[in-house]
Structure 1
Amino acid sequence: MRRHKLNEVVAKLNKEKDELVSLLPSHLREEFAREGYISGGCIYSLYNDKEPKDYDFFVHTEKLAERLREFFMGLVLQENAFSDDEEPKEKSIYVVHYSGERIVITKNAISIGKKYQIITKFIGTPEEVVNEFDFKHNMFYHQNNRIETLSQWDYLDSNKLRYNDQRARDISGTIIRVHRFCERGMTITNDEMSKMLKKLREVGFTERENEIIEGAGSY
């Protein structure tokens, strides 16, 4: 692990979090600054001098996630000017504008501008959320001006995919996503692929697994 590079990444993530906090409504800023943490591929990308596609933020509590959803969905209602006795049609995606940014709201996340996503599908502490990530090079998180890991620091310096075999959901989706990482220059061994197949054999094809396989063309 290159300590000086990690310090650079911490400084960058501090800046990005401050920027997102400034875009939120004032009554939610302090709570989000305290609860919100960054995790996912952006840490590995920055450490390896690559520009992240976006920054994924998570929150500890359903209460804060619900307050965020309520605020931005309230803007949807205002922008569309629904009357008191009129219910908006249920949609999978809602779009609204706030603080000069385009906000996209889905059942899984609130996207603010092109860079920031607040994930609302998975909520909890890093131990509860990040421990469920599918590959170990992504199991790092930024919180309280620090980067911590739930895997091993050496994975930041490696281009080898290592499967998190503690994960027991969306195994098919994990397998289908492997090609994305390989297109970015990562590699995977037969042993790691076998771990995924063994886990899939163990948990079986759930309804969600079948949905993933049927929709594989969208991955």
Structure 2
Amino acid sequence: MGRLGKYFLAIFLLLFSGLSYGVVLPKRDQVVKKAADLLDNWSVSYVYGGSKLGDPEHCEACNACLDRKKSGPKERFSDCPVCTKCSLDCSHYTFEVFKQAGLSSTYLTTALMNNLSPQELASRYQLLDIGTAMGRAMPGDLLVYDGHVVLLEKKYPDGRGDVIHSTSGKELRGPGNGIQRERRAQLENFRGPVLRILRHLDLAKEMRDFYLQRRSGSANERKPSFTQE
């Protein structure tokens, strides 16, 4: 973990321990809402390499073609060229969420998420590596596994959580098609062991500023007041 990561992690551990439940911060809340919006209001198929959220007509045409062809994830572009106009894989889904939430974001694959140094993740991709301890994870964070990435929507005290992701792991229908919500997932081993937890720097800074302000306010409340007589 690089110097920047250690700085934010130290702030997190000092100020945030035991207080992660019930706190709503605007940027983080926007990320979670955008993730759910793509699930609830778009019918987008998973295609390996899919990178575009096209218009609904193209999305439906892709879905219809895939229903007919029953192609595997890596053959879907060749079998259904219309899917180049509307489909998302797991890493492009999380990139789209950040973009729609107004966060500065540069696309990277799950392989890069796992293999780049913490310094490069922070400087080039605005992502803070906070390790693998699930106790540090918060809604809006990316949980990276071998070949897959999900967005944490909700976290429970028992270590489980709700995640939203673009997936082709099984036959899926309903809201989102390839974009799905998994409730009360075992986060540490959802798709094999979690390899990295990544937090957008804007969310890390928002959390840091909130708790520094909170601590400063508490300190001011404890200061004795003096009056002149």
TM-score normalised by L of structure 1: 0.26
Larger Rg: 2
- Specify which structure has the bigger relative contact order, considering alpha-carbon pairs within 8 angstroms and separated by 6 or more residues: 2
TM-score with structure 2 setting the length: 0.25
